[in-house]
Amino acid sequence: MKKQIIIYLFSCLLLFSCDLIGPSITKTIKYTVTSTLPSADIVYHNSTGMRDTLDDVTLPWETSFSVTIEYMDSYYATVMAFGRPLSTSGSITVSIFVNGKLLKTSTGSSLYSSPSAFASEFISN
């Protein structure tokens, strides 16, 4: 009898836990940076969610990659750009695309110093 109760409880646990597990999804993330300036320093979250830093990148710039987001999890998409050469006026725009659709864009401009822009968004399953 004790063995049957344990098997029953284990079966219920297995059955109900399956309802809590959902599919993972894969999304394509694309970051873009455009500017009136020739180059920028760029910081962004890569496919593993870690931060990458690129120095003095020729503009326009873009990168794209796929991320797999587990059920009830999220990915934090972030891109920042700082115009170069330093102390040069102009404007700079960063954008985040998910599966080809524009999710977020931000433009910064400055008359007396290098412009900067920042965009971020949680992408959830």
| 117 within some domain | yes
| 18 within some domain | no
Phi, psi of 112 (to 5 degrees): -120, -10
| 10 within some domain | no
| 76 within some domain | yes
| 13 within some domain | no
Q: pLDDT value at position 58? A: 97
Q: How far apart are CA 121 and CA 107, in angstroms?
A: 15
Query: What's the predicted TM-score (pTM) here?
Result: 0.80
User: What CATH number should be reported for the domain holding residue 109?
Assistant: 2.60.40.2880
| 61 within some domain | yes
Q: pLDDT value at position 19? A: 45
Q: pLDDT value at position 3? A: 66
* Residue numbers of the chain with a pLDDT score lower than 70: 1-20
Q: pLDDT value at position 89? A: 87
Q: pLDDT value at position 86? A: 78
Q: How far apart are CA 48 and CA 67, in angstroms?
A: 8
Q: pLDDT value at position 6? A: 62
| 3 within some domain | no
Cβ pair 59, 33 in contact under 8 A: yes
SS3 9: helix
User: 56 is in which domain, residue-wise?
Assistant: 23-124
Q: pLDDT value at position 90? A: 92
Q: pLDDT value at position 11? A: 55
Number of domains in the chain: 1
How many angstroms separate the Cα of 116 from the Cα of each of 8, 39, 40, 76, 86? 61, 12, 9, 20, 11
| 12 within some domain | no
